[in-house]
Chains A and B, each alone.
Chain A
Amino acid sequence: MKKKKFGQRWNELLKDIKDNPDALKSAVMSFFVMGLGQFRNKQKAKGFTFLGFGAVAFLTELFTGGYFYIFSDLAQYPADPGGQIYFIRDYGGIFSKGLWGLATLGKVVRGALYRGQAVETFNKIIPWLSADNSVTLLGTGLIALVLTSIVLSVWIYNIRDAYVSRKLILKHGTIETGKEYVKRLWSDMFPYLVLIPTLIMVLFFTLIPFMFSFLLAFTNYTYRIPVPSRLIEWVGFKNFAMIAGDPGWFSVFSQILSWTFFYAIMASATCYIMGLIQAVIIESKYVKVKKFWRTIMIVPWAVPAMISLMVFRNVFENTGLANQLLLKTGLMPAVSNFLFQIGLQGRPDTVISWLTVNYNGNLAKAVVILVNLWLGAPYFMMLITGVLTTLPKDLYEAAAIDGASKWQAFRNITLPLILRATLPAIIMTFTYNFNNFGAIYFLTGGGPAYNLEQIPLSMQVMGGIPGQTDILISWIYKLSFSNNAQLFNIAAVYSILIFIFIGSISVVNLARSKGIWEEE
């Protein structure tokens, strides 16, 4: 069936309404009071259900708000001379005040004079003398937004139902009994009922936090705004303009971004190649006790990543295992000189500072990638081992008959088959590494630091300075949580950028495998 255009559907609806004035009457009744149209249609059970829902929503608004204060003596305080009274702010309930807060992010700060009295952080007796906390308003506003959309959709459904039921009654002369209705509703609604706990969880722990942080990108919220003594404001795309327009920020951002890409690509590629080599060697006919070697090689995968990373942080301490080994085996001068020659080490013939030297961050970057290789190779080894066991034997026999060498067979049969089978996993690993916070944070903590002259003045003032091995995600962490930064708005902007990039890659990756989405 072809989808109809919106305009066409609209015209059909208008025509339908013109033809059924009686059904429209029921719909209008339900428009004003939920369930009223259903009563007119003589569908009592339904009517009570909708009426009850509407009443609950209405009473919630009434009782969560301060409407009763309007009639109390307290409300007699006038506005300040020239001041304004925010009616919804002072009396509104969860829905109206929530949406008001979301739109304005608050109007009255602590210490201000409002309706003739001083505003405190929290005033137990007179609610409107509690200061507006923009952050809380944003959060409750989002909850209100979600609740409002739920109520609105039930309300719309109620109107539609009144209309459609009336039409059916007029057409068939009979009405669906309450029992039939409940039975039908139960089977229609069963999947949603099953999903209610899940939806609540996703709503509160995924959707609302997502919207909250998304919206932060359009505010001026940083640690410099001590709520509730000051208000957060909506600033539109100003933060986006700042990170793109300030040349200093932009240069730091591009450095971080290019390292993030380099890291994600190198980390995935090295792990893949190493995993491939390991799998091919262990599965080859030259190795007899395959299970023994495989078990040893997957050990790093069994160790919790955070622990291995922190062990490696100690391994590469100045007095750690790496330097001790080099000293004991007498290789230290050679390795130190070699690293000096290829430009990774500041001075020759010294003990190597793997993670801390301020010479250039490249040595630390190399260590980051190598440690990731240690951690990540077993994953691909296991994956590729699995693929190898499923390869069709007859292809190799045919190739051997055609006189192909083993290398040719590997190059032209094995490799393409493995690549094709593991492509989704490679893409997933790339996106995973792109956001691999732990691999940076637990190993280097983002260090070594940049030279201060590489950091623009604006960033030195605002805070949130990244280290040389910081990838985008660990920089975001620093931007939002280090004590002298807490640039939540900037961090949110970068989060949105990552989200768009990683999200689109993942969507393409998921959509590629059509079988996953087909419904039988």
Chain B
Amino acid sequence: MKKYSVSDIILKIVAHIWLILGSIVVLVPLLWMVSAAFTPGKLLSGVPLIPDFSNLSLEHYTYIFSYKSNPASLLADYPGAFVRTLQIAVLNTIGVVFFAVITGFAFARLRFKGKKQMLLTMMILQMFPSFMGMIALFLLFRTFGFLNKPNYLALIYTAGSIPYNTFLVRGFMRNIPKSLDEAAAIDGASPLQILRLILFPLIVPIVGFLAVGAFMGPWLDYILQSVFLQPEQMTVAVWLYRTTDPLLTLVYNPLNFMAGALLIAIPIMVVQFFMQKYMVYGLTSGAEKG
């Protein structure tokens, strides 16, 4: 064994002090959130700094699962909001997978005029601040009668993700040797068969990454959902936002928020940790978490 010098030992201690302090900063707000979710009442000041296990309360969860809204309430019931968000999320996942595969394939493997310009245009257009586009989308939705129907929001999410996902899938597909396609083409496979039978199994990792992202996205998008949906059709994100809005005194209860937030944060965190490997791929291609 190598012997540590004095400076090594000092550095080791410094490194660990840093890490311990860092962990405290990282974890304490989250532990506080968990603690708050199980604290009775509606006051933040009532949340103990050191979790008080003798005084745990499921009050907020009882509220979340038993509260029944009526058309005039400021808050819809949480299970309803949950189901609506789930629908958007599932539809969005299907849409994103379809478009990512088909468009990524076209841009990676097919030859056509204006390919580069098209991709670049899509990516640049996407940089335009989306709030302004929302006014146009609002009108479009009103014209088609899509307003206040949560499922149609998946269209907007799917469309919005096309440019970046295309870019990512295209990059991934280009690393797959073209000789595979060519061999299949000689055997008489059509381009769509090549995509389905040869390329698709190979791009499952990146598509999985995008699918998970597409599934999680709608749970936490507040603005679009709050503008396009009436309160009785509200989603989880809107529900959460409203419970911490001090202006809505009737429903304001930060502890309800903590409890509701915990419910969706935990599954998402678990998925994030499982998907770490793919996320790192997304990161190295310059991806950014939204």
Contacts and interface: CB of A to CB of B under 8 A. Distances in A.
Contacts of B264: 304, 307
B136 interface: yes
B288 A429 contact: yes
Interface in B96-126: 98-99, 102-103, 105-106, 110-112, 115-116, 120, 122-126
A99 interface: no
Given A297-B22, A301-B289, A304-B219, A286 B15 contact: yes
Interface string A303-333: 1111110111111010111001100100000
Nearest to A317: B44
Given A136-B143, A281-B19, A480-B132, A299 B280 contact: no
B156 interface: yes
Contact of A382 (B12, B49, B280): B280
A154 to B, nearest CB: 15
Given A206-B125, A207-B125, A311-B261, A286 B11 contact: yes
A14 interface: no
B230 interface: no
Given A207-B125, A208-B140, A435-B129, A213 B19 contact: no
Contact of B140 (A139, A383, A428, A437): A139
Contacts of B27: 296, 299
Given A299-B30, A480-B135, A424 B15 contact: no
A30 B137 CA distance: 38
Given A198-B102, A206-B122, A307-B240, A284 B15 contact: yes
Contacts of A278: 22
Interface string B29-47: 1101100100000011101
A209 B276 CA distance: 35
Interface stretch (A75-83, A107-115, A246-254, A501-509): A501-509
B268 A481 contact: no
Nearest to B261: A307
A286 B286 CA distance: 30
A302 B273 contact: yes
A113 B99 CA distance: 50
A304 B26 contact: no
Nearest to A505: B127
A324 B49 contact: yes
Interface in A461-497: 473, 476-477, 480-481, 488, 491-492, 495
A321 B33 CA distance: 10
A321 B28 CA distance: 9
Interface stretch (A55-63, A123-131, A186-194, A231-239): A186-194
A307 B259 CA distance: 11
A312 B32 CA distance: 10
Contacts of A135: 139
Given A297-B23, A299-B27, A425-B286, A307 B220 contact: yes
A300 B261 contact: no
B19 A495 contact: no
B49 A386 contact: no
Contacts of B208: none
B111 A191 contact: yes
A248 B199 CA distance: 58
Contacts of B212: none
A261 interface: no
Contacts of B174: 520
B16 to A, nearest CB: 7
Interface in A203-223: 204-210, 212-214, 216
A495 to B, nearest CB: 4
A205 B220 contact: no
A303 B216 CA distance: 11
Given A328-B49, A374-B25, A213 B265 contact: no
A303 B106 CA distance: 34
A70 interface: no
A317 to B, nearest CB: 6
Contacts of B15: 281, 284, 286-287
Given A191-B106, A198-B162, A304-B268, A299 B131 contact: no
A244 interface: no
Given A305-B290, A481-B131, A212 B159 contact: no
Interface in B208-254: 216, 219-223, 227, 237, 240-241, 244, 254
B170 to A, nearest CB: 9
A410 interface: no
B258 interface: yes
Contacts of B244: 310, 313-314
A506 B44 contact: no
A175 interface: no
B26 A374 contact: yes
Nearest to B279: A382
B44 A314 contact: yes
B128 interface: yes
A213 B160 CA distance: 16
Contacts of A310: 240-241, 244, 257, 261
A517 interface: yes
A315 B283 contact: no
A191 B110 contact: yes
B116 A519 contact: yes
B214 to A, nearest CB: 14
A502 B127 CA distance: 7
Given A139-B136, A306-B237, A324-B49, A507 B124 contact: yes
B194 interface: no
A488 B289 contact: no
Contacts of B140: 139, 204, 208-209
B236 to A, nearest CB: 10
A201 interface: yes
A94 interface: no
Contact of B128 (A286, A424, A495): A495
B232 to A, nearest CB: 20
A401 interface: no
A370 to B, nearest CB: 10
B57 interface: no
Given A296-B27, A304-B220, A379-B283, A210 B268 contact: no
6 contacts: A198-B162, A305-B289, A306-B222, A310-B240, A382-B279, A442-B222
Given A194-B106, A314-B257, 11 more contacts: A204-B159, A213-B132, A287-B16, A307-B240, A308-B29, A310-B244, A310-B261, A313-B244, A315-B29, A374-B29, A495-B129
Interface of A: 135-136, 139-140, 190-192, 194-195, 197-198, 201-202, 204-210, 212-214, 216, 277-278, 281-282, 284, 286-287, 293, 295-308, 310-315, 317, 319-321, 324-325, 328, 374, 379, 382-383, 386, 424-425, 428-429, 431-432, 435, 437, 441-442, 473, 476-477, 480-481, 488, 491-492, 495, 498-499, 502-503, 506-507, 510, 516-517, 519-520
